[in-house]
Amino acid sequence: MTIPAILPGDIELRISREPVPYREALEEMTARNAAIAAGEARELIWLLEHPPVYTAGTSAALDELLDPRFEVVEAGRGGRYTYHGPGQRIGYVLLDLKKRARDARGFVHGLEGWVIETLRDFGVESFRADGRIGIWTTDVDSREAKIGAIGVRIRKWVTMHGFSVNIRPDLSHFTGIVPCGIEEFGVTSLARLGREVDFAAWDEAMIARAPAFLATLESPCPRSETAE
Catalytic residues: 180
To the question of whether residue 102 is assigned a binding role by annotation, the answer is no
Give the C-alpha separation, 33 to 122, whole Å. Answer: 32
Q: What is the DSSP letter of 60?
A: -
Q: Where are the alpha helices (DSSP H) in the chain?
A: 22-37, 104-121, 199-208, 210-216
To the question of whether residue 150 is assigned a binding role by annotation, the answer is yes
* 126 to 31, 77, 148, 170, 204: CA distances (angstroms): 33, 24, 9, 20, 19
To the question of whether residue 69 is assigned a binding role by annotation, the answer is no
To the question of whether residue 83 is assigned a binding role by annotation, the answer is yes
CA 185-190-191 angle, 5° bins: 105
**Residue partners of 217: CB distance under 8 A and separation at least 6:** 95, 97, 100, 101, 103, 106, 107, 110
To the question of whether residue 81 is assigned a binding role by annotation, the answer is yes
Q: Which residues pair with 92 in a beta bridge?
A: 46, 162
To the question of whether residue 84 is assigned a binding role by annotation, the answer is yes
Q: Is the C-alpha dihedral spanning 196, 201, 203, 209 positive or negative? A: negative
- Closest to 92 measured CA to CA, from 165, 33, 28, 162: 162
To the question of whether residue 148 is assigned a binding role by annotation, the answer is no
To the question of whether residue 149 is assigned a binding role by annotation, the answer is yes
To the question of whether residue 100 is assigned a binding role by annotation, the answer is no
To the question of whether residue 151 is assigned a binding role by annotation, the answer is yes
To the question of whether residue 106 is assigned a binding role by annotation, the answer is no
Question: Which residues define the annotated binding site?
Answer: 77-84, 149-151, 162-164
Annotated binding-site residues for substrate read 77-84, 149-151, 162-164
